[in-house]
Amino acid sequence: MAPNNSPATPATGTGADPAPVPAPVSACCSPGRRTTPEGGVRVPRGRARGGATGLVTLPGGAFRMGTDHADRFESDGEGPVREVRLSPFRIAATTVTNTQFARFVKETAYLTDAERFGWSYVFHLLASPAARRAAPPAADRTPWWLAVDGACWRAPEGPGSTVGDRQNHPVVHVSHNDALAFCAWAGARLPTEAEWEYAARGGLDQARYPWGDELTPRGAHRCNIWQGAFPHHNTLADGYPGTAPVKSYRPNGFGLWNVAGNVWEWCADWFGVDHPAAPLTDPAGPPEGTDRVIKGGSYLCHDSYCNRYRVGARSRNTPDSSTGNTGFRVAADASNGA
Overall average pLDDT of the 48-77 stretch: 83
Residue 140 has pLDDT above 80, yes or no: no
Residue 137 has pLDDT above 80, yes or no: no
Instruction: Report CA-CA distances (Å) from 236 to 160, 222, 229, 310.
Output: 24, 13, 11, 20
Identify any residues that bridge with 236 across adjacent strands, giving them in sequence order.
none
Res 23: pLDDT: 39
Is the torsion defined by CA of 284, 286, 287, 288 positive or negative? negative
Q: Are 207 and 213 in contact (CB under 8 A)?
A: yes
Burial of 313 (C-beta count, 10 Å sphere; 0-12/13-18/19+): buried
Cα-based angle 62, 63, 67 (whole degrees, multiple of 5): 155
Q: pLDDT grade, residue 143 (50/70/90)?
A: confident
Give the right CATH number for 55-109+168-333 from 3.40.50.2300, 3.90.1580.10, 1.10.10.10, 2.40.50.180: 3.90.1580.10
Is the torsion defined by CA of 55, 287, 180, 81 positive or negative? negative
Q: pLDDT grade, residue 326 (50/70/90)?
A: very high
Instruction: Report CA-CA distances (Å) from 279 to 79, 164, 202, 258, 273.
Output: 14, 47, 21, 29, 17
Identify any residues that bridge with 230 across adjacent strands, giving them in sequence order.
none
Q: pLDDT grade, residue 22 (50/70/90)?
A: very low
| pTM for this model (two decimals) | 0.88
Residue-wise pLDDT for 76-121, tens only, equals: 778 899 999 999 999 999 999 999 999 999 999 999 999 999 999 9
pLDDT top residue among 37 and 174: 174
Q: What sections of the chain are H helices per DSSP?
A: 98-108, 113-117, 129-134, 176-186, 193-201
d(CA 334, CA 338): 10
Q: pLDDT grade, residue 51 (50/70/90)?
A: low
How many CB atoms are closer than 10 A to CB 318? Answer: 20
Residue-wise pLDDT for 223-238, tens only, equals: 999 999 999 899 999 9
Burial of 276 (C-beta count, 10 Å sphere; 0-12/13-18/19+): exposed
Exposed e or buried b per residue across 154-174, where buried means at least 16 C-beta atoms within 10 angstroms of its C-beta: bbbbbeebebeebebbbbbbb
Res 236: pLDDT: 94
Res 128: pLDDT: 86
d(CA 18, CA 13): 9
Res 335: pLDDT: 86
Going by C-alpha positions, the residue among 134, 147, 126 that lies closest to residue 35 is: 147
Res 16: pLDDT: 42
Overall average pLDDT of the 273-284 stretch: 88
The pLDDT > 70 percentage for the chain reads 83
Going by C-alpha positions, the residue among 30, 329, 3 that lies closest to residue 166 is: 3
CA atoms within 13 A on the CB side of 116: 21
